[in-house]
Chains A and B, each alone.
Chain A
Amino acid sequence: MLEFISQPWHWAVSGAAIAATMFLLTWMGHTFGISLTFKNLCSVAGADKISDFFKVDWSMENWRMVFVAGGLIGGIIAGHFLKSPEPVNISQATIDHLATWGIAYPESDAKGMGLMNTAVFNFSSVKGILLTVIGGFLVGFGARYADGCTSGHAITGLSHLQLPSLITVIGFFAGGLAMTHIIMPLIFG
């Protein structure tokens, strides 16, 4: 059984399991969305004293913090007990393209699992720290500006057939494509 779930999951199984997560949270009376945890953590750090924007109704947000704590624990469990026997099986085309940027696969992930490109994003170089901070900053800024991230718009909003979410997701892709095809070649090419 453990061996069976330790294999990488088929995309259809994964998609259904993400939908199941959303159904469970909906049934429990809340809306699936993760990026509000960043705003909540701003509030914990004292930002609520600077701007009312960071004031949080904790009776409506506690569950979200517990949910992401669970996500982190789920990552620990998956990383320790359900580890895939092989690194993530990305396409040969992507491997070849990364090689032209001097990024070896899967060696550029220090753990060799193909989860995070630690050759680029790391604590051991100024460039590694800067790229990490810039990327994380844009995601945090953009998610709040957009009033939601991938979970809130691409999964929940689209499942609720929301036009604002669809346009936001188009924006997600516009930004991602510009970064991947225009800006990253300037940094890594």
Chain B
Amino acid sequence: MKNIPFLLVGIFFGIVMTKSEALSWYRIHEMFRFESFHMYGIIGTAVFIGAIGLQLMKRSGMKTLRGTFVEYKPMQLRLTRHILAGSVFGLGWGLIGACPGPMYILLGNGYWIAGLLVLSAILGTFAYGLIKDKLPH
């Protein structure tokens, strides 16, 4: 029961991603071809408002519902890892035009092929877990 609020925020997010067209394969393809401002506008606005909001949350010393302060555990800076890992993700994102959130939401929109995307992404995650010690981090 205590997770019901997360379900509601998830429903909101699913509607937002569908109506924003951010889960469209065509929008992502268009973005990587620089033929529309649409996706850049969405990401830019989200980060601009997001950065201001998070700063306010941190500086006001706001407590979360779990009683914690708003903070972010920084990742260790590892140039090679970030570029390599990001590129692998980007190769997949560019091909299927869906990042993880849209995979689930496309499935909700009735695109059954997105179920195969989710399964394949789980398989990719599993493969990473098996060979991660052999990769540069």
Contacts and interface: CB of A to CB of B under 8 A. Distances in A.
Main secondary structure, interface of B, reads: helix
B35 A91 contact: yes
Nearest to A21: B13
Contacts of B28: 176
Contacts of B36: 90-91, 94
A167 B110 CA distance: 34
A183 B76 CA distance: 31
Given A74-B108, A155-B46, A135 B117 contact: yes
Contacts of B123: 133, 136-137, 140
Given A111-B110, A118-B111, A171-B90, A136 B124 contact: yes
Given A70-B10, A74-B13, A75-B105, A132 B96 contact: yes
A9 B128 CA distance: 37
A16 B14 CA distance: 14
A175 interface: yes
Contacts of A122: 113
A99 interface: no
Interface string B114-127: 10111111111111
Contacts of B48: 15
Contacts of B91: 138, 142, 175-176, 178-179, 183
Contacts of A149: 89, 99-101
Interface residues of A, number: 127
Contacts of A118: 111, 113
Contacts of A173: 32, 90
A50 B72 CA distance: 30
A44 B110 CA distance: 24
Given A12-B41, A133-B120, A164-B82, A144 B101 contact: no
Given A9-B20, A139-B121, A150 B85 contact: no
B44 interface: yes
Nearest to B116: A132
Given A26-B54, A75-B105, A167-B86, A154 B47 contact: yes
Given A69-B10, A140-B124, A162-B72, A75 B87 contact: no
Contacts of A45: 122
Given A71-B104, A160-B54, A171 B86 contact: yes
Residue picked from B28, B66, B78, B91, most chain A C-beta under 10 Å: B91
Contacts of A171: 82-87, 89-90
5 contacts: A74-B11, A123-B112, A137-B127, A141-B92, A151-B101
Given A38-B100, A50-B130, A115-B25, 14 more contacts: A34-B99, A45-B122, A67-B10, A68-B104, A75-B23, A75-B104, A79-B110, A116-B111, A135-B120, A136-B124, A146-B88, A160-B54, A170-B82, A172-B87
